[in-house]
A and B are shown apart, each in its own frame.
Chain A
Amino acid sequence: MTVKVAEEWLNICGGCEVTILDIGEPLLDLLSKLEFVHMPVLMDHKYFGQTGEKTELEIPEADVGIISGGIRNEKEKIVALEMRKKCKTLISLGSCACFGGIPALANQYSLEELYDKVYRQSKTTDSADTPSDDIPPLLDRIYALDEVIKVDVYIPGCPTTPEIVADALTSLLEGKPFTLPERSVCDDCPTKREKKAITSIKRPLESILPPGQKLEESRCFMELGYLCLGPVTKSGCGGSEKTPRCIKGVMPCRGCFGPIRAGANPMVEMMGALSSIGLDPRLIFDRPSTFQRYIGAHGRLRPLPKRP
């Protein structure tokens, strides 16, 4: 028996969809058990019938729905509601759908400020009014999926890891629940921690480690003075190899898997993590949008009060 799947992308970059393809050869086994009934990136099912003959937007019924991307405009809201109506189990795929993601950095500005920059203050653009004919109006801000519809399964990450997508789909096929363990990136980081920074906070403007040094032989990046969101970020990005992806690239974590548990407050917890090893959080530029880079929906990032 095959499981019917519908996939939609809302305010997206497409990275989550590429991650599904990056499952690689196991994808072929999975595909034999899945029947895609709607997926704009790969198939030609249309909203209003194949020649546009219908008047209502329609997505076919499915056992599993997957949605990537947050909700930015009226149209995406309609699509999200239709997906919820037609899908028995709904997966929120990626940090944009789960928490707003990078695009929710825009939640720090009013729509008018965004439009002004794009259409009237760009150095190459012939200034004009904001386009508005026959295109869906934007919402006031970016919404995570669960601010608009009920979500059954959360798969965070920017993007998430192919193995996690495969595990989640396999669990659903077997009728089992899927959740990620409540572990931090630090729990899976191979660097050595001694709970004390050896220097004050620094911007990552030079090599963090001597070139070529093995991670296992290295000190924790934050104890070397470089901000890393590992302490407040859910682990899982490294898949079965464990080592977090950015750490493998010799760069500090920026929190793309989001908070370790529901209800956490990374902004406050990160200040605590820095202070506990003797670093002064106040020396960090741009704290709100750095500590909450991927989680700006749910009212976490808002327009700044106007300076007098």
Chain B
Amino acid sequence: MGKTIVIEPVTRIEGHAKVTIQLDDAGNVSDTRVNVVELRGFEKFCIGRPVEELPRIVTSICGVCPWSHHLASAKACDAVFGVEIPPAAKKLRQLANSIAFTEEHILHFYFLAGADFIMGPDADYSVRNVIGIAGKVPEVAKTVIRCRHLGAKMLEILSGKSIHPVAAVPGGFSKVLTSEERDMMIPMAKEVLELAKFSIDFARKNIFPQYIDAIKTLGVIKTGFLGTVKKDDGTLDLYDGVLRMMQPDGSYEDFTYEQYTDYIGEHIEPWTYMKFPYMKKAGKLSMDLNNPVGVYRTNTLARINVCDKIRTPLAQKELEEFRSEFGRPVQLTLLYNWARLIELLYNAEYAIQLLEDPEITSKDIRIPVKPRAARGIGCIEAPRGTLIHDYETDENGIVTNVNLIVGTTHNNAPINMSVKKTATDLIKDGNYDQGILNKVEMAIRAYDPCLSCATHNLDGRIAVKLDIMDASGGIIQTLQN
């Protein structure tokens, strides 16, 4: 056995992970692993709580996408209580969801992954970050910080609290949006739309052409895809709909939330706390790069692949251009970043549509609910992929069982495969440097993994640590986040 390279921690992702790369005697890659090193146990400690409290507890699974957990939980509660919420409440939840998506996609593009492209993948680590970006393009940095802040402000106006929100409740929404508040929000939302338009333009002109070779090779694997679309017409829908599982050849099946246990299984490996979801109908999971079985991906590229269309005009136009250039389904991993910008545009447009809908200021936003023994499943598209909250309660509405599958967890197998592919392609004859190791991390960053979410089970970190070992298995070098 040759050397082992350890990258620890993987940086500019949400949470903790380490990457281990095993080299053979000739210095070529024989195996890689992305070790996720924490576990938090939400599925255990949510049991015994009154179910109406869960939308305020599960938010702490993730401070980056708290709205996703909040809304999935509120939807699961609606189902447990057996109620259909008022239309205005649904619109308020969708509005919050779209604003939260814009915030997160801006965060990922400019603060996390963007530095690899704007500063360059081989740039020194001291400038390959958002502070480096602020030095290189200060006006852009200023607009980005302002627009992210506007997103937080809008969520505060809407719900009181932007991170770990409380306003989505079983039966609807707790706070009415007044017309004065709506009027304050519209110009803010329009400013965010301008940034969204700028971002995709900027990327198309200045970033993607420069990196097209990397896009065509880095971390490319062939998998299926999972996302949510509107029932019967296939429109991209981040809040509600049916789940669509697409095969690598582009054929697909749609299924309801209640059927998720028929379509998704979870496999355990001894070297990571994070589970590996797979297509249950494939019968097993294999992460063999040459012959993968049961592997599917979620998050932006998956949604852009599975949807038939997008409901807002600018994003629909972008989708058409994207498809005419790259086809459907697209397997190129770095294009997650491009798909993310299409979704940023969609959410910025959709937030304005919802704000301009007269029903958004309705006072009919909540119906009372009564405890009962029941099971309720709430799904939503979180920025990082399909999020499933499945609750069971006793007759007093006290939680007796919880099952959670979160966006990043679906991508566990694909992330491991993309890391292996990248490391195998780039590390030859024992030669590597910090730029090459950063490219291995770029394959991870494309998925915008949130390891806090993914380790909701117990502890909240995906650590990527890269160990370089010698032939006897002794660790020579360790890189980690």
Beyond A14-B63, A118-B39, A135-B273, whether A205 also contacts B171 by CB under 8 A is yes
Q: Which of B149, B272, B367, B434 contacts A135 (CB 8 A)?
A: B272
Kindly state whether residue A132 has any CB partner on chain B within 8 Å.
yes
Kindly state whether residue A25 has any CB partner on chain B within 8 Å.
yes
Beyond A51-B434, A118-B43, whether A131 also contacts B272 by CB under 8 A is yes
Determine the main DSSP class of B at the interface with A: mixed
Q: Which of B5, B62, B272 contacts A13 (CB 8 A)?
A: B62
Kindly state whether residue B366 has any CB partner on chain A within 8 Å.
yes
Q: Which of B265-297 contact A (CB under 8 A)?
A: 265-273, 275, 277
Kindly state whether residue A254 has any CB partner on chain B within 8 Å.
yes
Q: Which residues of B contact A36 (CB under 8 A)?
A: 131
Kindly state whether residue B130 has any CB partner on chain A within 8 Å.
yes
CB pair A18 B64 closer than 8 Å: yes
- Beta-carbon contacts of A52-71 to B below 8 Å, as 1s and 0s? 11110000000000000100
Kindly state whether residue B165 has any CB partner on chain A within 8 Å.
yes
Interface size on A, residues (CB 8 A): 93
CB pair B129 A22 closer than 8 Å: no
- Beta-carbon contacts of B418-454 to A below 8 Å, as 1s and 0s? 0000000000000011100110010000000010100
Kindly state whether residue B145 has any CB partner on chain A within 8 Å.
yes
CB pair A250 B174 closer than 8 Å: yes
- Beta-carbon contacts of B45-60 to A below 8 Å, as 1s and 0s? 1011110110011001
Q: Which of B136-192 contact A (CB under 8 A)?
A: 141-142, 145-146, 148-149, 152, 156, 159-167, 169-171, 174-176, 178
Q: Which of A43, A53, A109, A127 contacts B11 (CB 8 A)?
A: A43
Q: Which of B437, B468, B480 contacts A47 (CB 8 A)?
A: B480
Q: Which residues of A contact B167 (CB under 8 A)?
A: 249-251
Kindly state whether residue A246 has any CB partner on chain B within 8 Å.
yes
Kindly state whether residue B479 has any CB partner on chain A within 8 Å.
yes
Interface extent on B, as a size class? 35 or more
Q: A45: shortest Cβ distance to chain B, in Å?
A: 6
Q: Which of A75, A138, A286 contacts B458 (CB 8 A)?
A: A138
- Beta-carbon contacts of A215-228 to B below 8 Å, as 1s and 0s? 00000000000000
Q: Which of B131, B368, B459 contacts A103 (CB 8 A)?
A: B459
Beyond A17-B63, A106-B41, A125-B266, whether A206 also contacts B57 by CB under 8 A is no
- Beta-carbon contacts of A71-104 to B below 8 Å, as 1s and 0s? 0110100000000000000000000000001110
Residue with the greatest number of chain B CB neighbours at <10 A, chosen from A14, A27, A102? A14
CB pair B272 A15 closer than 8 Å: no
CB pair B161 A246 closer than 8 Å: yes
Bound Cα distance A115, B268 (Å): 12
Considering only CB atoms, which chain B residue lies closest to A238 in the complex?
A: B160
Q: B392: shortest Cβ distance to chain A, in Å?
A: 10
Considering only CB atoms, which chain A residue lies closest to B405 in the complex?
A: A124
Kindly state whether residue B461 has any CB partner on chain A within 8 Å.
yes
CB pair A286 B60 closer than 8 Å: no
Beyond A52-B466, A53-B477, A211-B364, whether A15 also contacts B63 by CB under 8 A is yes
Considering only CB atoms, which chain A residue lies closest to B111 in the complex?
A: A42
Bound Cα distance A109, B327 (Å): 50
Q: B203: shortest Cβ distance to chain A, in Å?
A: 20
CB pair A122 B11 closer than 8 Å: no
Residue with the greatest number of chain A CB neighbours at <10 A, chosen from B16, B163, B265, B457? B163
Determine the main DSSP class of A at the interface with B: loop
Q: Which of B56, B367, B450 contacts A254 (CB 8 A)?
A: B56
Kindly state whether residue A274 has any CB partner on chain B within 8 Å.
no
Q: Which residues of A contact B165 (CB under 8 A)?
A: 249
CB pair B61 A13 closer than 8 Å: yes
CB pair B163 A251 closer than 8 Å: no
Q: Which residues of B contact A42 (CB under 8 A)?
A: 11-12, 111-112, 129-131
Beyond A125-B268, A135-B35, A212-B176, whether A46 also contacts B163 by CB under 8 A is no
Considering only CB atoms, which chain A residue lies closest to B19 in the complex?
A: A52
Kindly state whether residue B23 has any CB partner on chain A within 8 Å.
no
CB pair B403 A126 closer than 8 Å: no
- Beta-carbon contacts of B1-27 to A below 8 Å, as 1s and 0s? 000011111011011100010000000
Considering only CB atoms, which chain A residue lies closest to B77 in the complex?
A: A205
Q: B27: shortest Cβ distance to chain A, in Å?
A: 14
CB pair B269 A131 closer than 8 Å: yes
Kindly state whether residue A114 has any CB partner on chain B within 8 Å.
yes
Beyond A51-B433, A251-B167, whether A124 also contacts B459 by CB under 8 A is no
Considering only CB atoms, which chain A residue lies closest to B103 in the complex?
A: A18
- Starting from the known contacts A47-B8, A48-B6, A125-B266, 5 additional A-B residue pairs (CB-CB under 8 Å) come to A24-B146, A109-B45, A114-B41, A124-B266, A124-B277
Residues of chain B touching chain A, judged by Cβ–Cβ distance below 8 Å, are 5-9, 11-12, 14-16, 20, 33, 35-41, 43-45, 47-50, 52-53, 56-57, 60-64, 66, 107, 111-112, 125-126, 128-131, 134, 141-142, 145-146, 148-149, 152, 156, 159-167, 169-171, 174-176, 178, 260-261, 264-273, 275, 277, 363-371, 390, 396-398, 401, 403, 405, 432-434, 437-438, 441, 450, 452, 457-461, 463, 466-468, 477-481
What are 12 A-B pairs with beta-carbon distances under 8 A? A11-B40, A11-B459, A14-B63, A15-B63, A22-B149, A42-B129, A52-B477, A117-B43, A122-B266, A159-B63, A205-B371, A251-B160
Q: Closest 3 interchain pairs by CB?
A: A15-B63, A249-B160, A24-B149
